[in-house]
Amino acid sequence: LNKNKIIAPEFIDESDNTTNSYGLWVKGGEVTINGEGEISAQDAEYSMAIWANGGTVIINNGTFTNGGDTCDLIYASNGGKVYIYGGEFIPKGPSSGEVPGTKNPYPALNIKDRDRDKCEIKVYGGRFYKFNPADNLSEGESTNFVAEGYKSTQDGDWGVVSKIN
């Protein structure tokens, strides 16, 4: 990232007339994110900082944000894989739990429902604002995205993932 900020454009999906914003959309192949910087999706109906749509994303550092009514900050579908080793993950917008009664109040990490057996999200490190990757509701109660040998601890509003000593 080299201290840069990537801001996703907003666009209209003509197939369903929704507004969308994807910071990084990986459709096949592999992308590794290193260094300080930010990837941010704009306020849209579907707003994702990272979408692993059949590809693999390795996150070693950076800050990731989004906003909108239906937000999955980091999302995997169609066999996509996401491996998180560090970084800060800050979901924004109504579905971050700030507004009661929203569709998905825990949107930091999510796998498309129909692809749960084909996709993978594993967390080895990082800080997650108002989200516990070891016990969340995005895939059902007690869903654990934390890799074996690692743990998630609460530090104020942050879920922090680290190696078990």
pTM higher than 0.75: yes
pLDDT digit string, tens, across residues 106-159: 468 989 889 989 999 999 999 998 888 998 766 666 689 999 999 999 999 899
d(CA 48, CA 90) in angstroms, rounded, equals 11
- Mention every residue, 6+ apart, whose C-beta is less than 8 A from residue 113: none
In tens, the pLDDT along 9-39 reads 888 878 887 778 888 999 999 999 999 999 9
- Strand 158-163 relative to strand 126-129: parallel, antiparallel, unpaired? antiparallel
Token pair belonging to 17: 């007339």
